[in-house]
Amino acid sequence: MENIFNPIKSRFKEPLIKNMCEYNELMDKFKGDYEGTWASFADEKIDWFKKYDTILDESNAPFYKWFTGGQMNVAHQCVDRHLDTKKNKAAIIFEGDNGDQQILTYRELAYEVNKTANMFKNKFDVKKGDRVVVYMPMIPEAAVVMLACAKIGAIHSIVFGGFSAEALRDRIIDAEAKLVVTADGAFRKGKPYMLKPVVDKALEEGCECVSKVCIVERNGEDIEWVAGRDYSYNELVKTESSVCAAEPMDSEDPLFLLYTSGSTGKPKGVQHSSAGYILWAQMTMEWVFDIQDNDTYWCTADIGWITGHTYIVYGPLAAGATTVMFEGVPTFPDAGRCWRMVEEYKINQFYTAPTAIRLLHKTGAHEPSKYDLSSLRILGTVGEPIDPPAWKWYYEEVGGSQCSIVDTYWQTETGGHMISPLPAATPIKPACATFPLPGIMAEIIEEDGTPVEIGEKGFMCVTKPWPSMIRTIWNDGERFKKSYFGDCKKDGQPVYFTGDGAMMSEDGYITITGRTDDVINVSGHRMGTAEVEAAVKKHDNVASVAVVGKPHEIKGEGIFAYVVLKSVPSNHNDQTADEFEVMKEINNIIKTEIGAIALCDDIAFVPDLPKTRSGKIMRRILRSIVKGEAITQDTSTLEDPSIVGKIEEIVNR
Ligand code: PRX
C-alpha cells in the first residue's frame, strides 16, 4: 500500500485552508463563479489605488488581461502598505557566505527602496516602462533594486549571476535595457568572485541601448571603472531622499521580464504583469507556506530564477513576512550550514530544490540531528521531481516526521505555484505534487482535450487563464502563442500547455512525469537543448551535435552530448586523449556562450547521429541509449539503421 502522510495538525494554529473539505469548497466556489471568486481575493488582498473595471478580459485570447482599469503598485503592496502595522518587523534577514548578518526592517527596507528609486530617476533617468537589467549576487540590495524598479514602474530583468557575458549580452539586447545594475562581485565558498568584469565584457558590443552601469559594492575587490558609464551605487544613493511616491501602475503593466529556456531557439523573455502576479504570489505564500506573523521563512533559491522572484522577494514581502536571503552555498563551510541557520533563525518554512536535498543527504546524512530543527513546520521542494529516497530523508531527518512537505509544481511562466499540497490539509504522498491549488484549472488531457485515463500519461495543461500567468514573450507575441497555446485544445479552444507530462491516480493525485519537449532540467534549472547545441556547434571541428538529459545522482539530470566531428583525430593511437582535449574545448565554449551551469557532463564522439531519411534527428533513440533502455522505436526508417548499434557500443564501452 502506498504511504500517505497526514499533516501534523498540532503544528498549525490558524491555517487558511484547514482540511480537504475546505479545499473542495473553495475549488467548487471557483468552479461556480470563476471570475467572481478571483475578484473577491483581489479585493481582499490588493491595496488598490483605483479599483479595476473588468475582472478578466478574454477579448484578445491568449493575451489575457486581469483586473483591467485598476491601478496599484507592487512595491507599495510589498513594503509601504505594511508600515502602519509592521514597520519594525524584520522584512529581510541576510546571511552572507562569510557569515555576515544584516537585518532590514520594513521601515528600513522602505527607506532603501525609496532612495534607490529616486537614484534611478534622478541619476539614471529611468522612467516608467524602461528596462533595467540586474546582474547581482544574493545580497539585500538585489531585493531593494527589484522593488525600486517596481516603485517607479521600470521593468526589471534579472539575469542569474552564473550566466556568461554572452548570455547576459543577449538578454540585455533583447530587452533593450537602459541601465544595468550589478555588483563588483560577491563571496562563494569563502572566496570572492567577480560579476562586474562579466558586465564589462557583455557591453563590449551590441549594447548601445545601455548608457549607464550602477555598481553595488559587495566584495571590495578592484574593478575597472568606465568614465561616464559606471557609477557607484553606494556613493550615489547616499544623497537621495528616502521619500518617493509610488508610481500608479495599471494592473497589466509589466512588472518584470525573466528569460527562460524553451525547446527551440534563444531564451525567451517571459513577461509578467503587476496585479495578477502579485496577487497569486501573496495568496500562494499564505496557502502553501502558511505564513504566520511571527514566522521566519527561508527559500534557498537565487533571485536570478523565478523561485527567487516569487518566493524570496515578492511573495513573502507582499504577505508581510520575514524572508531570509542567503548568499552562500548549502554545503559551505560544511554540510551543516543550512541546519545551523534553521536553528539560529528559528526558521519555520524551509524551501529548496531536490538537487540541494540530495546533495545535503549525500554529504551530511546525519547533520540535521546535530541541530535543533523543531521550529520547522513546512518543508518545500521546487523545480524538479523529488525522488522517494530524498523525500524520505527530508521528511524524517530534517522534518523529524513532524513537518508537511509541499512538493510545489510550477514554472517561470506560471508566476507562482500551480499544483501543491496545502500543508495543513492535504494528505501527502511522497514525491507527488498532489492537487491543483484552488483557482487553478489544471487538467491532464490529450491534445484534443480528452481527459486521459487514470494512470496514463497526458499533457499537463491549465484550461482557464489565471491571474499570474505569463502575459507574452517580450517582443514576440507569435512565439508566445506557439510555445504555450499551440499544442493542446479543449472544447476547440487553445489552452495553456506547460510542456510537462503528468498522470493522475485513482484518488486524483497528480504526479508530474517530466518534460515532453527538448528541455533538460539540470539541478532544477531549465536548459534548452537547442541553446547548448548552438554553443557546441561553434567548435570548429564539430559537424553535428545532439544534446539530451542523462539521469544524474545529484543534479536530477546532467547534460550529455552526442558529437560528430568533422575530422576524426589523426593519431588513432591516442584517440581518447584527443577526444578529451576536444571535450575540454567544447566545454570552454559552453562556459563562454552560456555559463558553467550548461557544461556537458559527458560527450560521446559518434560517427553519425540517428536521422530519418528527411534528416530529422531521432532524439528519443539517443535518450534511450543514454539511459540504458531498450530501443523500442522503429529504427528501420532511419537513413542508416546500423548507426544505433554503433552509438550504443560507444556509449556503453
Ligand atoms: O518540468 C517542470 C519542472 O521545472 C519546469 C519549470 O522550470 P522553471 O521554469 O525553471 O521553474 C522552476 C521553478 C518553478 C517545469 O516545467 N518542475 C518544477 N517544479 C516541479 C517540476 N517537476 C516536478 N516536480 C516539481 N515540483
Rg of the chain, C-alpha, whole Å: 25
Q: How far is the C-alpha of 514 from the C-alpha of 456, rounded, in Å?
A: 14
Between the CA atoms of 491, 497, 502 and 505, what dihedral angle is there, to the nearest 10 degrees? -30
Residue nearest to atom 25 of ligand 1 (CA): 409
The atom of ligand 1 lying closest to the CA of 301 is: 13
pLDDT in tens, 608-629: 999 999 889 999 999 999 999 9
pLDDT tens digits for 451-495?
999 999 999 999 999 999 999 999 999 999 999 999 999 999 999
By most ligand atoms within 8 Å of CB, the mutation choice from 310, 411, 414, 527 for ligand 1 is 411
Ligand 1 center to residue 239 CA distance, Å?
43
Rounded to the nearest whole angstrom, what is the distance from the C-alpha of residue 158 to the centroid of ligand 1? 19
CA 572 to centroid of ligand 1, rounded, Å: 44
Please tell me the distance between residue 461's alpha carbon and the centre of ligand 1 in angstroms: 14
Peptide bond into 333 cis (omega under 30): yes
Distance CA 265, CA 392 (A): 38
Q: What spacing in Å lies between the alpha carbon of 409 and ligand 1's midpoint?
A: 6
Residues of the chain with pLDDT under 70: 1-2, 569-575
What's the 383 CA to ligand 1 centre distance in angstroms? 4
Question: For the purposes of burial, counting CB atoms within 10 Å of the CB of 531, is it exposed (0-12), middle (13-18) or buried (19 or more)?
Answer: buried
What is the distance in A from the centroid of ligand 1 to the CA of 330? Answer: 21
SS3 string of 90-153? EEEEEECCCCCEEEEEHHHHHHHHHHHHHHHHHHHCCCCCCEEEEECCCCHHHHHHHHHHHHHC
Pocket test for ligand 1, best of 406, 410, 525 (most atoms within 8 A of CB): 410
CA of 413, closest atom in ligand 1:
9
The alpha helices in 337-433, defined as continuous H runs, are 337-345, 354-363, 388-393
Cis before 62? omega within 30:
yes
pLDDT score, position 498: 98
Q: Over the range 272-306, which residues count as b (16 or more CB within 10 Å of their CB) and which as e?
A: bbbbbbbbbbbbbbbbbbbbbeebbbbbbbbbbbb
- Residues of 20-51 as b/e, b for ≥16 C-beta within 10 angstroms? eebbeebbeebeeebeebbbebbeebbebeee
Please give the number of the atom of ligand 1 that sits closest to the Cα of 526. Answer: 10
Contact 106, 114 (CB under 8 A): no
Q: Which atom of ligand 1 is nearest to the CA of 412?
A: 9
From 407, 483, 500, 525, mutation site for ligand 1 pocket: most ligand atoms within 8 A of C-beta: 500
The residue whose CA has the least distance to atom 7 of ligand 1 is 411
How is residue 260 written as a grid cell? 527562460
* pLDDT at site 1: 45
Three-state DSSP at 572 gives: helix
Q: Is 190 exposed, middle or buried (0-12, 13-18, 19+ CB in 10 A)?
A: exposed
Ligand 1 atom at shortest distance from the alpha carbon of 410 = 14
With the CA atoms of 14, 291, 423 and 330 taken in that order, what torsion angle do they form, in degrees rounded to the nearest 10? -150
Residue in 331, 332, 313 with CA at minimum distance from that of residue 323: 313
Ligand 1 centre and the CA of 10: distance in Å?
A: 31
Give the three cell numbers for residue 470: 505569463
- CA–centroid distance, residue 491 to ligand 1 (Å): 27
Return the residue whose CA atom lies nearest to atom 13 of ligand 1. Answer: 383
User: 308 CA to middle of ligand 1, Å?
Assistant: 13
Minimum CA distance residue for ligand 1 atom 23: 385
Residue 67: the pLDDT is 98
CB 330 within 8 A of CB 523: no
309 CA to centre of ligand 1 in angstroms: 15
382 CA from centroid of ligand 1 (Å): 7
Spatial distance between the Cα atoms of 324 and 333, rounded to a whole number of angstroms: 19
Q: What is the pLDDT of residue 587?
A: 97
Q: Which residue CA neighbors atom 26 of ligand 1 most closely?
A: 409
Gap between the Cα atoms of 26 and 37, Å rounded: 9
Name residues whose C-beta falls within 8 Å of residue 125's C-beta, 6 or more positions apart in sequence: 178
Q: Are 311 and 285 in contact (CB under 8 A)?
A: yes
Nearest protein CA to atom 11 of ligand 1, as residue: 411
Q: Which residues are CB-neighbours of 217 under 8 A, at least 6 positions away? A: 183, 184, 232, 233, 234
List the grid coordinates of 508. Answer: 486524483
pLDDT score recorded for residue 109 = 98
CA distance 602 to 206: 33
CA distance 75 to 49: 13
SS3 285: helix
Q: Which residues line the pocket of ligand 1, CB cutoff 6 A?
A: 260, 306-307, 382-385, 407-412, 433, 498-500, 512, 515, 521, 526
Q: Is 156 helix (H, G, I), strand (E, B) or coil?
A: strand
Pick from 521, 529, 597 the residue to mutate for probing ligand 1's pocket: most ligand atoms within 8 Å of its CB.
521
Distance 502 CA to ligand 1 centre (A): 12
In angstroms, rounded to a whole number, what is the distance separating the alpha carbons of residues 14 and 470?
A: 32
Q: Are strands 349-352 and 378-382 parallel, antiparallel or unpaired?
A: parallel
Q: Do the beta carbons of residue 440 and residue 468 sit within 8 Å? A: no
> Which among 306, 311, 384, 484 is the best mutation to test ligand 1's pocket, defined by most ligand atoms within 8 Å of the CB?
384
pLDDT of residue 574: 61
Measured in Å, residue 601 CA sits from the centre of ligand 1 at 21
What span, in angstroms and rounded, lies between the C-alpha atoms of 546 and 536? 9
Q: How many CB atoms lie within 10 A of CB 565?
A: 19
